[in-house]
Amino acid sequence: MSTTNTYDSEKAPASTAVSTHSDERTLGHAEPPSEQQQPQAQQSPELDPDLVDWDGPDDPENPQNWTKAKKWRLIAILGLVTLVTPLGSSFFAPGVPQVMADFHESSNIIASLVVSIYIFGFAIGPLIIAPMSELYGRFWIYNACNVLFVIFSVCCGVSNSMGMLIAFRLLAGAAGAAPLTIGGGTVADIFPPAERAGAMAIWSVGPLLGPVLGPVAGGFLVEAEGWRWVYWVLVIAAGLFTILFYFVGSETYHPTILAAKAARLRKETGNQNLRSKLALDIPPRAIFTRSIVRPMKMLFLSPIVLLTSTYVAIYYGIMYQFFTTLTFVFEGQYHFSSGMVGLSYLGLGGGLLVGMGFLGVMSDKIVKRQQAVGDMKPEHRLDLLLSVPGAILLPAGVFIYGWTTQYQIHWIVPILATAFVGYGNLTALMTIQTYLIDAFTIHAASAVAANTVLRSIFGAFLPLSGLALFDKLGLGWGNSLLAFIALALLPVPVAFRFYGERIRTNPRFTTKF
């Protein structure tokens, strides 16, 4: 037991999705919480011998001090889990025509909803998952949600009506949101800021590449075995990764680890006054309330959160518009078979991979360079080299895709154009997410929570207009409309690169949360 606090501003973990107050209290990179925001026990730790902390800066129980092998082993299995749940969002997209025929449906809205309703689950799940992880830690929430995901996927596979399928896809999405909700926090638990972008890029492969790989494999699977087999394959993969994670995974959330240490020391010493240095003296109901209310307050009261979240949400919605309509476009315009149509998603995947590699390397280089000269600011996460190319390429890709499919130019051209869409989405998500984490210190978790919920809502409902939009305006002008909207958002990352510091340090916008 020691009062040496290594859970400080340099090593503080930052969650990248919905979290709760103690997450936010330990998120400071630039400034510590005020005394009003700290639990009483934290205000003078050196005066209280009953506080349980890490045993010095090299305590092996502290996840920041784990060996590289242990850290990357955990990231590897977490990456697999984070791949399989987003995979479920679009895995059976090539089978939607079969589903519509089986259940005697003809509505374009239903055809899009059965795919995108899964993403709405990503907006609902974090509101429950995050406060539960605050109370019980990350490890057990991962495992519980993994098991629920398998169960709900089985239910999707045996669905006998469109309503049943939609309902269980919603529940599967909500359960599958666990690695998306707290996975970024796990990365931040074990990596310091200067190493975080590379690890975040690897972890982000799942959320972004999973929905692309799904249709590629699903197209051939649907053609050979029917749409229900998509779910049996998903259940097998998810079940295997669930078992692996249970045996390989470890708890990384600092307050939970110290709480367990305090409980162990109380039992060993008989001193019932021992308590974790990171414990909060508030009831569970207050934790739930804060985790839900504060993100919404920040979304509507902070210009930074509102505009950056809208920017990412529209990009995300456009990408899911592609996920829900590519099957119909390439079957209708280019007469692809159910198996071949899945290959039309490879352009998006290629763009995502290129963006991941570029951002993962360059973002950390910029951070280390600025730290070396003592001038690291959150706004450097929006360096123009990182943010502007993607903000230009995405609308360009949407525009080229729309008009080349309209006039049935060779299919390789629109597929290559979708690579620009994938690259633009990756750069927007990565730059904005890391910016929010670094910019909002103690409230970073809630800022990113607002971003996550809003983009999931856009990803779920914007695609519902896709087929109707193309029927009304055609592929050329329909996609051009989306491109013009995306282009209008280009000033967002540029403006916050130069003026973000002035806004985030303005008391007018920082005292309302």
Determine the Cα–Cα distance for residues 394 and 185; give it in Å rounded to an integer.
28
46 pLDDT band, cuts 50/70/90, is low
| pLDDT for the residue 447 | 77
Name the region of 374 (left: φ>0; alpha: ψ -120 to 50; beta: rest).
Answer: left
Which helix (H) or strand (E) segment holds residue 276: the answer is strand 275-276
Rounded mean pLDDT, 40-62: 70
pLDDT tens track for 338-356: 778 778 888 888 898 888 8
Look at 63-67, 149-153, 273-277, 332-336 and tell me which has the smallest mean pLDDT: 273-277
- Structure confidence at residue 3 (pLDDT): 38
Which pairs with CB-CB distance under 8 Å and at least 24 residues apart come from 408-411? Answer: 408/333, 408/334, 411/330, 411/334, 411/336, 411/344
Q: Are 471 and 135 in contact (CB under 8 A)?
A: no
Confidence of residue 369 (pLDDT cuts 50, 70, 90): confident
In this predicted structure, the answer to whether residue 513 has a pLDDT above a threshold of 70 is no
> What secondary structure does DSSP assign to 165-221, as a single string?
HHHHHHHHHHHHTHHHHHHHHHHHHHS-HHHHHHHHHHHTHHHHHHHHHHHHHHHHH
Kindly report the CATH number that applies to the domain delimited by 63-252+284-505: 1.20.1250.20
pTM score of the predicted model: 0.75
Instruction: Give the model's pLDDT for residue 20.
Output: 34
Residues 250-277, mean pLDDT to the nearest whole number = 86
Could you give the percent of the chain with pLDDT greater than 90?
23
Q: Once rounded to an integer, what is the mean pLDDT over residues 364-369?
A: 79
Q: Which of 6-15, 149-158, 333-342, 351-360 has the highest mean pLDDT?
A: 149-158
Binning pLDDT at 50, 70 and 90, where does residue 7 land?
very low
Give the H/E segment covering residue 52.
Answer: strand 51-52
Who contacts 453 (Cβ-Cβ below 8 Å, separation ≥6)? 18, 123, 126, 127, 295, 299
Over range 151-178, report the average pLDDT: 93
**Which is more confidently placed, 434 or 67?**
67
Three-state SS annotation for 385-417: HHHHHHHHHHHHHHHHHHHHHHCCCCCHHHHHH
Whether 277 has a pLDDT exceeding 60, the answer reads yes
Q: Which pair of structure tokens corresponds to residue 476?
A: 């050329």
Least confident of 139-143, 192-196, 310-314: 192-196
Helix (H) / strand (E) containing 51? strand 51-52
Nearest-angstrom CA–CA distance, 395 and 22 = 39
pLDDT of 42 reads 42
Q: Which residues does 485 contact at the CB level (< 8 Å), separation at least 6?
A: 314
Read off the pLDDT band of 332 (50, 70, 90).
Answer: confident
Q: Are the C-beta atoms of 216 and 349 separated by less than 8 Å?
A: yes
Q: How would residue 1 be classed by pLDDT, with cut points 50, 70 and 90?
A: very low
Q: Is the pLDDT of residue 511 over 70?
A: no
Rounded mean pLDDT of the chain?
Answer: 80
